Chains A and B, each alone.
Chain A
Amino acid sequence: MDIWALLIIPLVVSVFIALVARKNEELSSYVSIGAVITGFFIVLPYVLKLPGDPNMHPIEQAFTWIDIPGLKVEMGTLIDPLSIIMLFIVTFVGSLIHIYSRGYMHGDPGYSRFFACLSLFIFAMLGIVLSNNLIMIYIFWELVGLASYLLIGYYYEKPSAADAAKKAFLVNRIGDFGFILGIFVIFYATGTFNFIEIEQHIAAGHVSSGTLTLAALLIFCGAVGKSAQFPLHVWLPDAMEGPTPVSALIHAATMVAAGVYMLARTSFLYAAAPDAMVVVAYIGGFTALMAALMALGQKDIKRIIAFSTLSSLGYMVLAIGVGGTGAGMFYLATHAFFKALLFLGAGSVIHACHSNDIWEMGRLYPKMKATAVTFILGSLAMVGMFPFSGFWSKDEILSATFESGNYFLFAMGVLTAFITAVFMSKLVAVTFFGEKKYHGHPHESPYVMTVPLMILAVFAVIAGFAGFPGLEPNFGSFIHTAASGLLEHGGRGVHAEHRFNFMVASLSTVVVLGGLVLGWTIYSRKGMKSDVMEEALPFTYKLLENRFYIDHIYDTYLVGWLYNGMARILNYIEVNIIINFVINGMAYFTRQTGKGLRLTTTGQLQNYAFVMVGGVLVLMIIFAAIF
């Protein structure tokens, strides 16, 4: 029952704030923070039990939601190592972000609204994690979309925020379009939505491989939308329009992680559909590299981190695509810590400088030491420097890719790691060191903001040891249990979790070090006012700054020409052809005919009589002719 409480409390809190505590800002923030922390303490016992019981039997609780002949939909929860780890990340990182928000959002006119939406977000995300069936996951999937819409559009008076919110929702909708169709395919192939039952059906070989590939690809569309993979990645950078804690929440613990989590949840499906996995892996690898390149051309601190998230998500999807579900989830976990840390750190910087542009910061280190130190630790974790958490998790992904035998993807992954190291070192160098470029007097943020940073920093550093190869059972073995089978049918199709690959690890360390050195040497030079790359490689820089013009192409051609154009053409047909021509034309024709026939009404009695007699005569002739 405690599991249901996990779900109900944030919802109740959200409704409570919306209806009752709207005017009381203090109360709103406390109940909201209380809700997520309560959630954390509900989850904690499960987490603590996990190492002792890595092969725990999944716990399922469900009640019937819709029950008509041929269609039974349940609402249910599924507790297994996969969901427990995810619950832990969501509630833990979520708690810290809630606490941080109390400081960051201080004095904002929509304070209560903000916390109501945050609680709704947590509710929706926990729903995804707990779902035991596809319909339920889809429901909460959409609710996450709603919550993100509300939070990204939080400053709704700002046109850019209103646009970004709409864009995020709609782009996600396009992904969901595939997702729901995939759910239908699965339903008609297996007759159920329940994960465990679907897995049984697939394991029993009831489903043809073509159907499986189709279903896997369609469901992957959902993840492409929510986890912002190419070609639906465009909403994520724009989502920066929301307040910074929201960005942290979206990027680290919720929303984008949902896509990866869903892939992990349905990994049995992908394991049975190797063709789909290749697509997944390439999309992931491509996104990782593309986003890392785009990050090079950005100036906005939040945008740089946003693109790094895109890149990280690409990594995770790549991991799942090469069969390393455990590696992907491990990266998701460590990523949640360091990415939340980076965003909250960025928020702290923005809070101090009142600007997002890294070229208007510089030499902030002496002014805000706590933020700077934690931020640097986060960055090191992000680039995957030994022995920070990112190192272990990224290494697992790289070795999984390497061992899958796809060296092209492996090369892409390594290249991404290199570029990541370059732009992260640039970010740190330009923001905290280098030339002083800020205006006013930046100062360190209050404790309510820095303490969460420190806690996150600790985790960003040490979380990687959960996946330490020498530890048994380690992170990978939990996920392995979850991913390779909710039932005991062995790791069919799923690669056994990877061991530490010394060759890969040393290669990536060298590459990362190289990237860091390169970035640092370029960007820590004295007297630099703007990006040297802009002058050295203007064309490339322009291309990267404009994100390869993908957004532009979408906006102008797909949305502007195709979508709106089609609507306009149909509207033209409706108004001018159907209504004005056909329908009003018919009315016009009727009216004109009436006008013509009216002339026969002469008012002359004898005319009428004449016509009548004539008519009778004609009829008589006709009858005479017939009979």
Chain B
Amino acid sequence: MLTISHYLILSFILFSIGVAGVLLRRNIIIVLMSLELIFNSVNISLAAFSYYLQSLNGTIFVVFNITVAAAEVAIGLAILVSVYRTRKTVNVEDLDEMRY
């Protein structure tokens, strides 16, 4: 029997993987993908709570999130491409223009 806890644990694992990816990977594409992982972990828990609480709010949020995430990925990738074009790198450590 799958309980809410299983979904939340899955969500937590995905979230942790995502955070680790964001923090540790140097390739900006991977960072972006890890970000998506975090998003989806949130979506899973939202969906799980929606079912658990028998409320549509969570589902609406999930749909909303997916839409926003799609738009965000589109913009993110676009920025990424233009960064790669100008800087010839996808390593986040090299992108420190805002340094003191």
> Could you list which residues of chain A lie within 8 angstroms of chain B, going by C-beta atoms?
598-599, 601-606, 609-610, 613
Q: Count CB-based A-B contacts (< 8 Å).
A: 32
Partner of A609, one of B23, B97, B98: B23
Question: In whole angstroms, how far apart are the Cα atoms of A384 and B98 in the complex?
Answer: 99
CB distance from A281 to the nearest CB of B (A): 82
List chain B residues, Cβ under 8 A from A603.
95-100
List chain A residues, Cβ under 8 A from B19.
613
List chain A residues, Cβ under 8 A from B99.
601-604
Quick check: B22 and A606 within 8 Å, CB to CB? yes
Quick check: B98 and A613 within 8 Å, CB to CB? no
Query: Which residues from 78 to 100 on chain B have a C-beta closer than 8 Å to any C-beta of chain A?
Result: 92-93, 95-100
List chain B residues, Cβ under 8 A from A602.
96, 99-100
Quick check: A610 and B93 within 8 Å, CB to CB? no
6 tightest Cβ-Cβ pairs between the two chains A and B: A603-B99, A603-B96, A601-B100, A603-B98, A598-B100, A610-B23
Partner of A606, one of B92, B97, B98, B100: B92
Question: In whole angstroms, how far apart are the Cα atoms of A356 and B22 in the complex?
Answer: 101
List chain A residues, Cβ under 8 A from B97.
603
A-B contact pairs, 20 of them (CB 8 A): A599-B100, A601-B98, A601-B99, A602-B96, A602-B99, A602-B100, A603-B95, A603-B96, A603-B98, A603-B99, A603-B100, A604-B99, A605-B92, A605-B95, A606-B22, A606-B31, A606-B92, A609-B22, A609-B23, A613-B23
List chain A residues, Cβ under 8 A from B98.
601, 603
Of the four ranges (under 10, 10 to 19, 20 to 34, 35 or more), the interface on chain B belongs to 10 to 19
Question: In whole angstroms, how far apart are the Cα atoms of A605 and B30 in the complex?
Answer: 14
Chain A residue nearest to B98 (CB atoms) is: A603
Question: In whole angstroms, how far apart are the Cα atoms of A606 and B93 in the complex?
Answer: 8
Quick check: B100 and A604 within 8 Å, CB to CB? no
Quick check: B23 and A604 within 8 Å, CB to CB? no
Partner of B23, one of A598, A599, A601, A606: A606
Chain B residue nearest to A597 (CB atoms) is: B100
List chain B residues, Cβ under 8 A from A605.
31, 92, 95
CB distance from A375 to the nearest CB of B (A): 90
CB distance from A563 to the nearest CB of B (A): 53
Question: In whole angstroms, how far apart are the Cα atoms of A602 and B95 in the complex?
Answer: 10
Question: In whole angstroms, how far apart are the Cα atoms of A599 and B99 in the complex?
Answer: 9
Q: A598-B100, A601-B99, A603-B95 are in contact. List 12 more A-B contacts (CB 8 A).
A: A599-B100, A601-B100, A602-B96, A602-B99, A603-B96, A603-B99, A604-B92, A604-B93, A605-B95, A606-B24, A606-B93, A609-B23
Chain A residue nearest to B95 (CB atoms) is: A605
